[in-house]
Structures are given as structure tokens and as C-alpha cells.
Structure 1
Amino acid sequence: MAGLFNDLSFDTPLLSNIYEGLKLLFRVNIIWIGLVIFLENNNPSRTLAWLLVLVLLPVVGFFLYVLFGRSYRKQKKAKAKILSDSDRMEKAAEIQSSLLEYIDLPNSENPANRRLMQLLLKNAKAPFSMSNEVTVLTNGLSKFNRLFGAIKRATDHIHLEYFIIKDDHIGNELRELLIEKANEGVKIRVIFDDVGSMGLSRKYINSLKRAGIEVHSFFKVPLPILSRDLNYRNHRKIVVIDGLIGFVGGLNIGDEYIGNSDKFAFWRDTHLEIKGEAVYALQTIFLNDWNYVAGQVVQGVTYYPEIKVAKTSLVQIAASGPDSEWKCILQAFYKMISNAVDKIWVTTPYLVPEESILMGLKTAALSGIDVKIIIPSQPDHFFVYWASQANIQQLLEAGVKIYRYKNGFIHSKIMIVDKLVATVGTANLDIRSMEINFEVNAFMYDVDVISRLEEDFIHDIDESIMYELETFKHRGIHRKLMEALGRLVSPLQ
């Protein structure tokens, strides 16, 4: 930076003083950022990576940290959004935790499931419920048909929370439906992520507000290029209708999610429709987020109506993010992997796992467990794609079978362990989802649901090509350089 300034000349004392002041201010900021990184980052490799970038490339490092660096101030701000409305779920989790070993639960003969459930009761305050009906929605058309049908039947309230809402055909179909329901007297609240939905037009938002729909953005970022608020995004996709039906999974709102995209011919994804008591957890997560973005404490029995469901499906809903005391979903993934005795099947768009997850997958494969991972064959985000590629060889060497999906882009976030447990949600197998973003996942212990997800996984394998270790080892120097760049950048997330 000094060299950059030294190339400039200033003919007046005023400009010269401004220049010297800016140079000093920049140096102070670099030192301050370095001190913050050193004090607040408990990951040595990430700390070292940031400090090296700041020392060797101070200008680049400064702007990278402004964009992607973690912030203690932001963590405090995030934690402030947890309000008393979650007390009922926390109390339920505490009671269940003390009684878990005495409760008769389906598919829990293996103590591994009870240990996982206990973990989620403790770290995520995630109570389990058995009166549920879970429907796996494969791909966008299935999800939007069920979602729009449920919205049309709403009578009391509709709560929507999405990382991305687009002003396109699907987005406008949703908008028209919501306006129609608002005119019928249904109370509607909408949360969208301010960065994920950056392209959402003011006209779209105002049309919702004119209809009486309450709309708020999450962690508003007025100047994204200069704001540290670009980090800590709300990656959740939650819909709750009348407190009775919930939707959660990988699909946002937009035409690309039904395959109408210039970039991807087909979009493979997985979502869930849940009817039953597990909807209470989705409702609580939404209302906590709403309390934060809107400054309104919304609560009451109308949001937690009595639910009668004939089917029995054991479910826990866990949320994680900077407002969590623990890395809840990361710990749950780790526990699932360590519990496995037969197979671990994973689908993820991004394969940049935290070190413990990476070690767990390699250890499982080396010990003879069937570990299969499906990832995309083409990128939707440049750096994270190459960061994913950088992990492939070491996983293949451990015996992990990795497949690249060829029929478009695969965005599902699924982990299946034995016939014991499966999870579907918003969390990718990457550092950002595990440590930075606000995420939500459903953990399911129902053999029928697990079998349904296995069917999709086997079909996706048929649409994929397996990486061969010897072939991968002989990839070109260009790919190795890009992987090295991805590996270098990944700890900075």
C-alpha cells in the first residue's frame, strides 16, 4: 500500500496532509485487524492464513477481511436476537434430556441414535417429536407445487424465510399468491437475506407491503463492498403455514430451481414438507429471527396450535449460527459420522469440510465403512468449487467414493447414516455453513423416510460419474494450481 501511495504526487500541503493521514489510517487499520484476528480466531491455520495475507498482501488482505473476516461485534449482535419466545422449546429439550433413556422411541434400539438425540437436546435445545408426517420433495417442481398448494389453503398466518427470493416467474407467482392471501385476511411475514436477495427489486417488496404483508431483510447491508455485514448470512429456508405445516430444505425461490436457467439445464435439490409437532420448532426459529429483524415479540397459542397427525415419524429440528453457543450442526454431523457402522452417504454442493469432519470421513472409509459423496461436476461459485476439488485426492486415497453429478447442478444437502438417521436442511458440508451462516436442518430417525432418501441417492449415483484415484492424480497443472488457490482461500471463510 505504501508503494501505491508513493507513486502519487501532491502539489499542495493540504493534499499532502490528507495523503499522509490516509496512509497512517490504513496502517492503523491493518495493525488493528491483525490484532483482532490474533485474539478472536481459535483456529490456528485460519489465523495464520489471515496474518500471512495481511503481511504479504496488505491491500488485498485488508479488503478480503472487510468482506469475509469474522467479527466479534457481529457475534454479539447476532446473539442479541435470541428472545424469550424460545423458552418453551428450551424447557421441552431440558425435560426430554432428563427422560430420554426412559422413553420408548422408534428406531432407537441402537444407542447411537439416543446419543445423537441427546447431543441435539443439549447443544441446539432441539426437542424431538414423534407425531409427524414427513414428505420428501425431490426437486423444484415438487416443492413449489406442495408449497403453493399449502399457501392457498392458509387461513391464519404464513411465515416465510429465504436466503434468496428472485423477482422472476416463480418469485412473482409467490408474490401474487401472498397478496391474494393477505387480501383474504391472512397475516403474512416475510424475511429475506439482504445479500442473498440483493437482486430483489424495491418494486417487488413495496407491492407486498402495500398489501399489508410485513417484509424485513436480515442483516441489512447498505454498501456490500465496504461492509463487514456481508458476512454472517441467513442461509435458512423456512416456511410455516398456520403453525401446522412446515417446509425446510435446500430450495430458494427462483426460476433456476425448476431448471429455467441459462447456466444449468437441470437443478437437483431436496426439500421437506413436515406436518406435525416438529413444525413448532420451525415456527420458533422463524419467530426468533423475526423478533430480531422486525423488533417485534410475536408469540401466542395461535402460532402453536394443537396438531393431530396419525403418522409417527421421529424428528428433531436444529438451528445453528453465530447466535449459537455451540456449533450445533457441525457437532451433529461429526456424531453421525462417528456413530456409523455400515454406510455414510452424503450429497453436498460444496465439499470443504471442517477438519474434524474431513478426518471423520477418512477414518470411516479406512475402517471399512461405505462412504459415498456426491458433488456437482460444474461450479456455481468459483472459489468454493476449487476448494472442494482440493479435498478430493486425500478422500479418494482413504477409500471414500466420490461422484460428480452430470445431469445439471446438484444442490441437495443430505447425510444418511446406516438405517439409523438422515438429515436434510440448509447446511452445506463447508466451513461457512458450519461456522458462519445461520442454518437449519431436520434430523430424522424414521426408517421409511431414510429409505425414501436412499432411493433418491441411488438414482443420483446413476446420474453421476465416479472419480478414479489414478486418473485424478494425473490431472493437469492448471487444475492443481486452481485447487491450491481454493485451498488457500478456504481457511479465510
Structure 2
Amino acid sequence: MIATWVTIHALLHKREVGSALGWIGLAWLSPFFGGFFYFVLGINRVRRRAHRLKVQRTGRAKPGDIAASRVTDHLAPLESALGRITGRSTRTGNGFAIYQNGDEAYPAMLAAIAEAKVSVALSSYIFRTDESGTRFIDALTAAKARGVAVCVIIDGVGGGWVMSSAYHKLRRAGISAGRFMHSPLPWRMPLLNLRSHKKILVVDGRIGFTGGMNIADENVLALKPKEPVQDTHFRVEGPSVAQLMSAFASDWSFVMGEDLQGEIWFPTIAPAGDATARVVTSGPDRDVEKMEFAALQAIACARKSIHVMTPYFLPDDHLLLALAMAAVRGIAVDVVIPNKSNHRLVDWATRAAIGPMMRDGVHVWLGPSPFRHSKVMVIDDEWSLIGSANWDMRSFRLNFELCMEVYDRPLAEALRTFVTAHRGERLTIDAIAARSLPVRLRDAAVRLMMPYL
């Protein structure tokens, strides 16, 4: 009966053939052992729970309401496809500024908070109470004292699972703050995967910041942290800020049960630049795989070049094959990953996964230290994808992520130059093949943990 139940459930719910066969085989070979582990590890409670809990999003267009394409070149199919994938229209008239590390980003973000007149919305995966975090807490507290409406979301694990000092300091200061999917019970394992990896700051509904940067001293190189983390963040102005605010409002309703509405959160926004942009969200609910689909569509539309920078590179075989096929058809494909990331298991698994892609002509470059946490994708020096999503299964399938796609040649060229400038030593097929047998076995074994790394 146990083996039959596992078989029926796996056949109905497992999309990957290999996964379904593995669980079914284990259940019939060892019904009690296999059934127990399938019940604990094999059932996707992440997606099921998210479907049950995630509230209906605000500010989303229905598929039939997507505006006609504003992009007229070979990337028009990409804009059309992402409109159907995301349910959002692109917005014209946006301006972007690029910041490197907390040395540049934090002063700009703190200045925006200091100038806030009616509202501040902040969401961060990590929010420490070190020197940098304290500066943000003080700025938010001062804004609250001026009568500004302040709302803060901190992830329930990334911001401190057992104790989130930033959350408690904000609450003591009278600031409305929530912890995303927090549970103090360690055996509630599905909650550990439902993480909000988004980085959002919206001031007065008109000025937005997003990218890959958390709030911590490790991002400020001038402070000489023991383990520095380089990162890239962006300031956004223009109509697309409303989509950033909408994404935050949806999460706020989910975490706190309150709706953020009205002019202080959603004002009329005048154009502030020439870029066309759109917010792309993903998560283990109805947004599942949307970030991965966006990357696949962009690869398919590329004609000349693909540049990717990511701190962790462990996508599934679909993306690896798409990059390989792009290289085969003559497109220059460059992937920049850290020479050494802050997760050694990811580095090992990456070496086990990328060999076939490299043999087909994809160039993989090892970025020099210190560790760089930037996430950037550039297509044909015309289109960019920026935000919080890493190129791994956790970001593509489990985390709640937020990125922005931007149709703007100056921004794309600046990001391509940035990615190219941070290429270090090229990783070669010979170097991959030269690993000893024990190392190759270790890397291949760790790769089996790919969905959880």
C-alpha cells in the first residue's frame, strides 16, 4: 500500500522523469524507508503552501490587458513573451543609476530615506545591526518621527532565524516591521525554503532601489570587513517604480495582512528617462519558474552576445543546454562566476555541471577576489536583467525573487563593460578534466544536492 501510494503520487506530481523513477524505485525496493523519506522530502509542500497562503497580487495586468509591444527590433518577441509570463506591461520613461558596493549604494539610499516626505517601503533578505544596519535603522526611525509612513520586511531566516535584532529594534522604535515566513520551529522544514530574497526600497512611491545588495557591513569595502562582499545595486526613477511598490505591497499584505493603498504609496509618476522596463517576480507559488523562463526567452532571442555575472551558477539542464546551443549558433556567450564563492559546496557542484556547456563554446571566467555577489544578464548590448536572482535552482524554483528587465542600450553597454572588466582567469576544459578522481567524485556527489544548495 505504501509503495502504491508513492507510485501514484509521484506519477501525478513529479515533472522530472528521473525524479519520479527514483522515488518509485526506492518505494518498491524499501517501502517503509522509501515511503517515509518520500513523505518527508519528496512532496513539494513549498509550492502547495505558497499557493494556499500567497495573497492575490496588486497592480498586475491580466494577460489580455498587456499593452502592445514598445520594442520594435529583434527583441520585440522577448518583450511580448515576458508580458505573457509576468502578466505585467513594460513601462517607458525610466531612468537608472548603477551603484557598486555599499560604499556607493548606502549613502544614496540613506539620503533618499532622509528626504522622504510621505512613505518608505524597505524589504531585505539580510538586515544586520552592525554599523551599516544601525544607520538604516536610525534613518527609518527619523523618518517615522517626521510623520512618514514606514514599512519594513525582513526575511525570517536571512534576517536572523532565532533572533532578528534589526526587526526587534525597528519594532521598539515604533516602526511597522514584519518577518517573512518566520517560524521558530526547526522541524517545520518547508518554511526554510520559502525565503524572500528580494531587495526593495521605495521612497514616496517615486524613487526605487533594487539589485542584489543586503544591508550589512560586509558590503562596505571602506570598513575593511573580514569577509568583504562586492555587489551591484540600482536606483530607479519613472513609472516602473509603481511595479516595485506593487511587489512590496503584495508581500506586505501577505506578511502583515494589511493593504497599502492610496497616493502616498502609488502616486502618479512622471517620466524620468528613456529606458523601457518591467518588474519580473518569481517564487514557489504561481510565479514558479518565471525567472528561469525569462532567462530562457532572452537566450533564445540573442543574436550577438550573452553576458552573465552571478555569484552562484547551478542552473538546471534546460538553461545549460540553452547557453550551449547559443554558443553553437555563433553567439558569444560569457559567464563570470567567482573564483571562490562563500559557499564551497556550490563551487564544487558547479565544476561538475558546466563541462558539456564549455565544450560547446561557452566561456566561463573566474572573477577575482573579493567575492562578488552581483547578478547581471546582458543580451546584445540592448537588454539587461538586474535584481536579486542567482543562477541556481534555489533562486529559480524556491526563493521569492525580484528582478527588472530593462530595454536600454546605455545601461546594457555599461553593464556589459562592467562584466567584461571583472573577468579574471578563464576556466578551461583542461582544468575541469585535470581534477583528480576523488575530487570529481566529490563534485559529482555534491551536484546531486543541487536543488537544495
Q: Common fold, TM-score beyond 0.5?
A: yes
Q: In structure 1, how many angstroms separate the alpha carbons of the residues matched to 2:157 and 2:37?
A: 17
Aligned match of 2:61 = 90
**Identical pairs, percent:** 29
Shift of 1:126: 2.0
Q: Retained in 2: the 8 A contact 1:81–1:291?
A: no
Q: 1:392 to 1:65 in 2, by over 3 A?
A: farther
- Residue 41 of structure 1: which of 5, 14, 19 is its match? 14
CA shift, 1:239, in A, is 1.0
The range that moved more, 165-174 or 242-251, is 165-174
| Alpha-carbon distance in structure 2 between the residues aligned to 1:229 and 1:63 | 18
For the pair 1:272 / 2:234, whether they are aligned, the reply is yes
Cα drift, residue 302 of structure 1: 2.5
Distance 1:256 1:325, change over 3 A: closer
Structure 1 portions without partners, runs of 5+:
1-26
Compared with structure 1, are the counterparts of its residues 225 and 33 closer, same or farther at alpha carbon in structure 2 (3 Å cutoff)? farther
Residues 1:118 and 2:91 aligned together: no
Q: Deviations over 1:432-469 (max 9, x none)?
A: 111121111110110111111012112111xx110121
1:379 matched to 2:379? The reply is no
Contact in 2 for aligned 1:166/1:200 (Cα 8 Å) = no
Q: 1:213 to 1:318 in 2, by over 3 A?
A: same
Aligned twin of 1:12:
none
Question: 1:492–1:205: structure 2 CA closer, same or farther, 3 Å change rule?
Answer: closer
- Structure number with larger C-alpha Rg: 1
Correspondence for 2:358: 396
Name the structure 2 match of 1:476: 436
* Partner SS, residue 422 of structure 2: helix
Distance in structure 1 (CA, Å) of the matches to 2:36 and 2:340: 30
Task: Please give the root-mean-square deviation of Cα atoms over the aligned residues, in Å.
Answer: 2.8
1: CA distance between counterparts of 2:260 and 2:323?
A: 42
The answer to whether the 8 Å contact 2:195/2:399 transfers is yes
**In structure 1, what is the Cα distance between the partners aligned to 2:243 and 2:374?**
22
Greater percentage in helix: 1
Change (3 A) 1:369 1:171: same
Distance across 2 between alignment mates of 1:383 and 1:47: 25
Structure-2 change in CA distance of 1:205 and 1:32 (3 Å):
farther
Q: Is the 8 A contact 1:94 1:121 kept in 2?
A: no
Task: After superposition, give the CA deviation of every residue in 1:344-368 in whole Å (9 maximum; x if it has no partner).
Answer: 1101111111221111001111222
**Correspondence for 2:450:** 490
Which one-letter code corresponds to 2:65 in the other structure? I
1:130 to 92, 109, 129: 92
What TM-score do you get using the length of structure 1 for normalisation?
Answer: 0.84
**Aligned residue type for 2:100:** T
Equivalent position of 1:10 in the other structure: none
Residues in 1 aligned to 2:441 and 2:372: alpha-carbon distance in whole angstroms: 25
Distance in 2, Cα, partners of 1:40 & 1:347: 33
Shift of 1:262: 6.2
Q: Matches of 2:81 and 2:431 in 1, distance apart?
A: 41
Give 1:90 deviation, angstroms: 1.1
The TM-score normalised by the length of structure 2 is: 0.91
Would you say 1:81 and 2:41 are equivalent positions?
no
Q: Equivalent residues in 2 for 1:97-176 (5 A)? A: 97=67, 99-100=68-69, 105=70, 108-111=71-74, 113-176=75-138
Q: Deviations over 1:23-66 (max 9, x none)?
A: xxxx97x9977865554221223344556778789879967985
1:200 Cα deviation after fit: 7.6
1:409 counterpart SS class: coil
Secondary structure of 1:239's aligned partner = strand
1:328–1:77 CA distance, 2 compared to 1 (3 A):
closer
